Structures are given as C-alpha cells and as structure tokens.
Structure 1
Amino acid sequence: MKFVMSYSCGKDSTLALHKLIKAGHEPVGLLVMVNKDMDRSWFHGADHRLLEKFSKALEIPLLLCPSGGDEYHLEFEKGLKRAMELGAEMAGFGDIDIENNRRWCEERCRAAGLKAAFPLWQQGREKIVQEIISEGYCCIVKSIDNQLLPKELLGKQLDSETLEIMAARGIDICGENGEYHTIAVDGPIFRHKLEIQTGSILDFGERSVIDLR
C-alpha cells in the first residue's frame, strides 16, 4: 500500500517509516510541518537545507506544510490530501502510547480520507529506543529539557552511554514527554549518511537546542 509518512526527522518517526517499508508498503512522501514564523520544522527545528538532505538520503519526496499554531491541523489535512494525489492510501505516524496524540492523527486522516497506521503503538518505550539502536540507526540529540538533562548531551549520538546518563536522571529514556528530541542521520533505510555540521547551542528558557545543518 502506498503511504505518506508524518515525518519529524526524529528517531520514532524514522523507526515507524522503517517498519512500514519493511512490511512492504511504499512511501510516496514525507509530510513535514514547518513553523512559518521560524521557517523550520515544528518541534525538531530542521531548516530547509537539512530537510532536503533527508529527502535525498531517503529518496522520498518532501511535502512541506507551512503553518502557524492556529491552522496547524488544517494545513496538516491539506498535506494529506496532496499525498493522496501522489497515490497515498495511508498515513504513517510514529506515536507510541499517548491516546490524545493518536486520536488527533486519526481525526486528520478521517477528514482527508486516508487510513492511519501506527507501527510503534504499544510496543513499549524502552523497547523502541533499544530497537532504534540495535537496527543500526544513528540519531543525534538535537534538543533537551534543561531541568532534566545536561547540555553535554547535545550533539551526541543516542547510544548505550547517553541512555545510561538519561536513566541516571530518572527520565523516560524514549523522551516521549519532551525530555529530549533527536535527528536521525543514518540507518538501514538511508541511501547514504547525512553529512551534518554542528553549530552553536541556543538557549530558549527551559530548553536548549544545538543547531544542526
């Protein structure tokens, strides 16, 4: 079945994309929501140059959807309808176990007329993180909650060492509550590794972000 992937560039949506492809489904696009005020992707802060690198490395076209906060859901639905024009019958999501998030995704798909797929659903947060690493994905820590994690993790690869630091801080090591975000730069579904340059660390109150481009 042809599908569009709701893609954040992070570990969970990358593993979900991996599983859908492995199951025999064909991706027709990466639907990426872009904050029109910052001109970067929502939540993970990838700029256009980095998003293009993802599209080329995965060999999947981008479906960029600029929006503000108020019309986010409407622009998402428009993106799904654009994907349908490319042949998509289904939309994939990297949600794990938060019911409200899943319900939101299902409502958007219902409005657009697509099926919704959640290949990571109820798989267990720790199990998913371990699977990402064991499958050979390289994910870089992009942002952290300063109240929970040290800035030294920014720019580091998600591996047994970084997970040990996170576990010692008593957080959910999957980061499902926003403790941290990642950018996936290599792995089985990538045709080649993304060449990423590390920039400066930016502080935004309780959060810190490292610029990757």
Structure 2
Amino acid sequence: MKFVMSYSCGKDSTLALYKLIEAGNEPVGLLVMVNEELDRSWFHGADYKLLDKFSKALDIPLILCPSKGEEYHIAFEKGLAEAKKRGAEIAGFGDIDIENNRQWCEARCENAGIKAEFPLWQQGRSAVVKEIIDKGFCCIIKSVNNQLLPKELLGKALSDETAEVMAAHGIDLCGENGEYHTIAVDGPVFKQKLEFDLGEIMDFGSRSVIEIR
C-alpha cells in the first residue's frame, strides 16, 4: 500500500518508516510539520535546507506543513489530504505507547479519510532503542535536558555507549519525556548517508541544542 510518513527526522519516525517499507509499503511523502515563526521543523528543529537533505538522502518527497501552534492540527490534516491525492491510503507514525498521542493521530487521519498505522506500538521503549542501534541506524543526539543529561552527549551518535550513559542517569532510554532528541542521518532506509556538519552548542537554560546543518 502507498503511505505517507509523519516524519520528525528523529530516530522513532525513521525506524517506523523503515518498518513500513520492509512490510512492502510504498512511501509517497514525508509529512513534516514546520514552525512557521522559526522556519524549522517542530520539535527537532530542522531547517528547510536540512529537510531537503533528508528528502534526497531518503529519496522520498517532502510534504511540508507550515503552521503556528494554534492551527497545527488543521495544517496536519491538510498535509494528509495532499498525501491522499498522491495515492496514500495509510499514514505512518512513530508513536510507541502514549495513548493520547495515538488518539490525536487517529483523529487527524479519520478527518482526512486515511488509515493510521503505528509500527512501533507497544514494542517497548528500550527495545525500540536497541533495534535502532542493532540495525545500524546513525542517530545524532541533537538536544538534551540539562537537568537530566550531560551536554557532552550532544553531537554523539546514539549507541550502546551513549545509551549506557543515559541509563546511568536514570532516564527513559527512548526520550519519550523530552529527555533528549535525535536526528537520524544514516541507516538501512537511507539511499545515501545524509551529509551534515555540527555547529555551535546553544544553551536555552533547561535545554541545550547543537546545530546540525
């Protein structure tokens, strides 16, 4: 079946994308929500140039959905409608176990007349991280909660070693509570490695972010 992937550029949505393709489905687009005021993707902060790199590295066209916070759901449904025009019958999501998030996604899909799929659902957070590492995905740690994790993790790849550091700090390994965010740059779903440079580390009080461009 043809599908659109709700894509954040992070580890979970990248693994979900991989699983949907492995199951024989064909991607018609990466639906990316963009913060209209910052010109960067919501939550993972990828700018338009980096998003274009993702599209080329994955060989999947973008469906960009700029929005401000208050009309986020409307913009998302417009993106689903565009995907449906391209032939998508299902929309893929990287959610693992947060029921409210799943319900939100299902409501958007119901309004757009498309089926929601959750290939990582209830697989276990630590198991998802292990699979990402074991399958050879390269996911760069882009941001950390300064109260929970050391800034030294920024710019490093998610690996057995960095996961051990996270475990030693007692966080959820999948970062589902915002402990950290990643940007996926390589792995079995990529047609070519995403070329990137690491920029400066920016401190926003409770959170630190490294520029990836």
* TM-score higher than 0.5: yes
The 5 A counterparts of 1:36-115 are 36-115=36-115
For the aligned residues, what is the CA RMSD? 0.5
After TM superposition, the structure 1 stretch with the greater mean CA deviation from structure 2, 7-16 or 197-206, is: 197-206
Task: Please give the alpha-carbon distance, in whole angstroms, between the structure 1 residues aligned to 2:110 and 2:202.
Answer: 38
Q: Does the residue aligned with 1:24 lie in a helix, a strand or coil? A: coil
- Give the 5 Å matches for 1:1-213: 1-213=1-213
Q: Please state how far the C-alpha of 1:204 moved relative to its aligned partner.
A: 1.6
Q: Deviations over 1:73-111 (max 9, x none)?
A: 000000000001100010000000000000000000000
Tell me the distance in 1 between the aligned counterparts of 2:12 and 2:86: 24
Q: CA deviation at 1:203?
A: 1.4
CA distance in 2, matches of 1:117, 1:165: 32
For 2:36 and 2:203, the matched residues in 1 are separated by: 20
Q: Which amino acid aligns with 1:11?
A: K
Unpaired runs of 5+ residues, structure 2, are none
Shift of 1:181: 0.4
Deviation of 1:205 (Å): 2.1
C-alpha distance in structure 2 between counterparts of 1:207 and 1:104, whole Å: 26
When normalised by structure 2's length, the TM-score is 0.99
- 1:135 CA displacement: 0.6
Question: Quick one: distance in 1 between partners of 2:58 and 2:193?
Answer: 10
Aligned residues: 213
Provide the secondary structure at the position in 1 that maps to 2:127. Answer: helix
Q: Equivalent residue of 1:71, what SS?
A: helix
TM-score, with normalisation over the residues of structure 1? 0.99
Task: Report the alpha carbon displacement of residue 212 of structure 1 after superposing the two structures with TM.
Answer: 0.2
Letter in 2 for 1:106: E
Runs of 4+ residues deviating >4 angstroms: none
